[in-house]
Structure 1
Amino acid sequence: MKKITLLSSAALSLLLLYSCGEEKKEAPAAPETKTETFDLQKQKMSSEIRLPAELQGFKQTDIYAKVSSFVKELKVDIGSQVKAGQLLIVLEAPEISSQLAAAESRLHSAEAVYMATNATYNRILETSKVEGTISKNDLDIALSRKSSDYAQLQAAKAAHREIQVMQSYLQIHAPFDGVISARNVNTGAYVGPAGAGSTLPLFTIQDQQKLRLAVSVPELYTAYLGDAEEISFKVTPLPNDKFTAKIARRSGALDTRLRSERVEMDVVNTNKKLLPGMVAEVILPLNAKDSTYVVPKTAVVSSAERIYVVTVQDNKFKRTGIVKGREYGDNIEIYSDSLKVNQKLVKAANEEMRNGDPANN
């Protein structure tokens, strides 16, 4: 038993000595990670944005009735191809016919009165050439009566023309070549410039041979658009087709609600594949006019205080405030007066890199 006890004690002592030796050994130091940097360079960044847009008829108008009347005859229907000046609808208003007859009667009466007074004046004028036969006062009275009757005749003519114009409104013609895209009345319906008959237009006519593509471009991208620049677009019903058009018009001002500029393109649509009202996806190329600083997105830090990049100067970190520009893929434009070409920037910056901290290069 004594031998076993001695052996156990010796084993325990050796184990304790081994453990103490292990504790005294220092753990291996972790390898220092190097801060990856790159040289800042300028380049012209080319990118694109996709924006929703709407196709509209190049010419489009709603046609209403000018006078209160009833629909007598419809000459066209939805989908009808019409030419400029073609008769679309015939209206009827019996009271206008009565007014026209009364105006014609007043016109004939005024013409007869004027012819009589004019003849009288001419006779008196001819007689007055013989001295002492007609007094100057009688001649002036005849001239005044003639002038008054002439004025009445002109008023009667104007009233007659007015009723004629009102009657011409009973026949409505197409203002331009196009397609009837909507019809909201039937034969016998009451129509007019006001009241129940004016709620909806009689017809809607569109020029579909040429379409207008309108898109609102955000303020940030308006400077990259060029006049007559060619753009491409797609529509959902034709996913395999890609269409092109050139910028034709720009509003030159920003919409105060959307903070965007309205840009329009003219689209030739002779094959009728595109329809007014379609929603399109416009692909706008954004080609920079001047070179700018372009860095990886990982180099930009957006903190609660500001947006900055981390530069390396004298082997120390320094935060430099910037303004972000366009983003494309993994790169982003930045603007700052404090940066210079070939300056070293940290590729993967973070908020733990503070001013003056050593950089492990």
Structure 2
Amino acid sequence: MFKKVNLCFLAMSLVYLVANGCADKPVAIKDEKTAAMKQVEVKLVSPVKQKLVHTISQPGTLRANEEAMIHAKVVGYAALVMVDIGAKVKGPVYETGGKLVKQGSKLLVVDVPEIVEEVQHKKALMDFAKVGVDLEKKQAEVADAFLLSTEAGLVEARAGIQRAQASYDRWHSENKRVSALVQSKVLDEQTRDEVLNLVKAAESTKDEIMAKVKHAEATVAKSKAEAAKARIAILSAESRLDVTKAELRKAEALAAYTTIYAPFDGVVTKRSVDPGKLVQDNSSPNTEPLFIISQIDPVRVVVEVPEIENAYVNPGEDALVTFHALPGKEFSCKVSRISWALDSSSRNLRAEIDLPNPEGILRPGMYASIRIKAVLAEAFVLPLGAIVRTPDGAFGFKIVDGKAQKVDLKIGRVEGEWVELLGTREAGSTSDWKPIDTKEAFISANVATLSPGQPVSVAATAQK
């Protein structure tokens, strides 16, 4: 009997609970609808025209401003290693025109005895060539002096022609006179024969002088040729001297490679050579660099910008750089340069940002986070809170007769807290979009909680 009473009591309790639960549900729905239509206080905002700022966030890597892998030009043994990792080095000093004034810091001296001997050999050849030039010049002086002597002999010989001709003319005339006197029996024939012999002697003297002149002329021609040959010999000797000088400069240039200098101001970040080690040249692609020199002030941050964002990145754009290894530090800067062309494999645009590093706290290889802020063209915008975005489009609310009225919105870019507004029209309409009216006010916040026709009131201070 007691068991049956308990079962009846439990059954009645269950019916009562179910009945009460079913009765409460419609009451809750009614309360929610009532709350939804309750008047709410809102703020208004109108479209404004301003420049949007597009922020591009990408990881990056800190690199040295300049980095050089130092290899040897000649093969030899490391004689003197001048620096170690962490050492600060100085680069060369040049004049305005590019002439070297002072070499950079010494890094390494390579011992190559055969190059030293080659330089001495080229110096000896150059000295020998100098002597050859001097000898040819002396021989040219001798040839010039001999030419002058032969020319003087030619002048003398030509003067003898006149003398011989005068003697011949005299005795020839005398022979005519004596012959006439012999015919007149004034002089005897013996006198005539003596004069005739003198005529023949004068004629022989004349022929002898003419032969001497021809010989003198031939000697002068030969002397001129010898003098020209001597001058050519001088040019040849001077050319040989120039060749030996060039060979000496080449040997000295090769010898200069036995001392390796720093190419710019920086820090030695790697060293892989010890005294006595055989130093190889860089003819093999697998040759390990002897040193790596990095310029660390300034440094550059390298960031790879995806193709979809590349149009927004240009030199001069504002940027903010942070480093995981330096929490709390931010570096405001600008984009220094871009590659302009996208990498064919990654389709990324390379952008670089220069950062001053006087204290040396920024070290190559550090991981960086970069935010590049690209300023876009002016556009009409509304706060993000004034717009509801759905798959079917965007909408907002404005106030008409104290109630919330839904308005369809045509939007463009969304940048931070602002949304580009391109046009408006009545909710559900398919008409053309209306141009932006800066006097039109929209509810500025919490629009997703509003319902069309819900009573609203404007707060005392409206957002502009």
Q: Same fold (TM over 0.5)?
A: yes
What residue number does 1:272 align with? 360
Return the match for 1:123 from 139, 142, 150: 142
Return the match for 1:113 from 117, 128, 132: 132
Q: For residues 50 and 289 of structure 1, do their structure 2 counterparts lie closer, same or farther at Cα, with a shift above 3 Å needed?
A: same
Q: Which amino acid aligns with 2:53?
A: S
What residue number does 2:435 align with? 340
Would you say the 8 A contact 1:233–1:243 is kept in 2? yes
Q: For residues 255 and 300 of structure 1, do their structure 2 counterparts lie closer, same or farther at Cα, with a shift above 3 Å needed?
A: farther
Identity of aligned residues (%): 26
Within the alignment, does 1:211 sit opposite 2:299 as a pair?
yes
Deviations, residues 183-215 of structure 1 (Å, cap 9, x unaligned)? 112222222334669611111111212111222
Return the match for 2:63 from 33, 56, 60: 56
Task: Flag the structure with larger Rg.
Answer: 2
**Structure 2 counterpart SS, 1:291:** strand
Shift of 1:244: 2.3
What residue number does 1:282 align with? 370
What residue number does 2:11 align with? none
Would you say the 8 A contact 1:40–1:295 is kept in 2? no
Would you say the 8 A contact 1:184–1:201 is kept in 2? yes
Shift of 1:263: 2.5
Map of 1:1-361 to 2, 5 A cutoff? Answer: 41=47, 43-44=49-50, 45-84=52-91, 85-130=104-149, 131=151, 133=220, 135-194=223-282, 199-225=287-313, 227-292=315-380, 300=389, 325-328=413-416, 332-333=419-420, 340-341=435-436
Deviations, residues 19-49 of structure 1 (Å, cap 9, x unaligned)? xxxxxxxxx99x8x99xxx999464433523
Aligned residues: 312
- Higher relative strand content: 1
Shift of 1:151: 0.9
Q: For residues 126 and 277 of structure 1, do their structure 2 counterparts lie closer, same or farther at Cα, with a shift above 3 Å needed?
A: farther
**Structure 1 counterpart SS, 2:125:** helix
Q: For residues 309 and 176 of structure 1, do their structure 2 counterparts lie closer, same or farther at Cα, with a shift above 3 Å needed?
A: same
Give structure 1 stretches of 5+ with no counterpart: 1-27, 349-359
Structure 1 CA distance for aligned equivalents of residues 252 and 279 of structure 2: 19
TM-score, with length taken from structure 2:
0.57
Structure 2 CA distance for aligned equivalents of residues 344 and 115 of structure 1: 103
Q: For residues 137 and 183 of structure 1, do their structure 2 counterparts lie closer, same or farther at Cα, with a shift above 3 Å needed?
A: same
Shift of 1:144: 1.8
Q: Which amino acid aligns with 2:74?
A: V
**Structure 1 counterpart SS, 2:242:** helix
Q: Which amino acid aligns with 1:340?
A: P
RMSD: 3.8
What residue number does 1:14 align with? none
Deviations, residues 116-143 of structure 1 (Å, cap 9, x unaligned)? 1122113323443442555222122212
Structure 1 CA distance for aligned equivalents of residues 268 and 406 of structure 2: 73
Q: Which amino acid aligns with 1:154?
A: D
Deviations, residues 87-120 of structure 1 (Å, cap 9, x unaligned)? 1100011221232232222222222222211221
Q: For residues 286 and 195 of structure 1, do their structure 2 counterparts lie closer, same or farther at Cα, with a shift above 3 Å needed?
A: closer
Give structure 2 stretches of 5+ with no counterpart: 1-28, 38-43, 92-103, 155-219, 398-404, 424-431, 454-464
Shift of 1:179: 0.7
Greater mean deviation of Cα atoms: 87-96 or 191-200:
191-200
Q: Which amino acid aligns with 1:81?
A: K
Would you say the 8 A contact 2:317–2:372 is kept in 1? no
Shift of 1:166: 0.4
Greater mean deviation of Cα atoms: 113-122 or 45-54:
45-54
**Structure 1 counterpart SS, 2:363:** coil
Q: Which amino acid aligns with 1:160?
A: L
Q: For residues 318 and 284 of structure 1, do their structure 2 counterparts lie closer, same or farther at Cα, with a shift above 3 Å needed?
A: closer
Q: Which amino acid aligns with 2:232?
A: S
- Higher relative helix content: 2
Would you say the 8 A contact 1:232–1:242 is kept in 2? yes
Structure 2 CA distance for aligned equivalents of residues 179 and 151 of structure 1: 47
Structure 2 CA distance for aligned equivalents of residues 177 and 326 of structure 1: 46
Structure 2 CA distance for aligned equivalents of residues 311 and 273 of structure 1: 50
Q: Which amino acid aligns with 1:79?
A: G
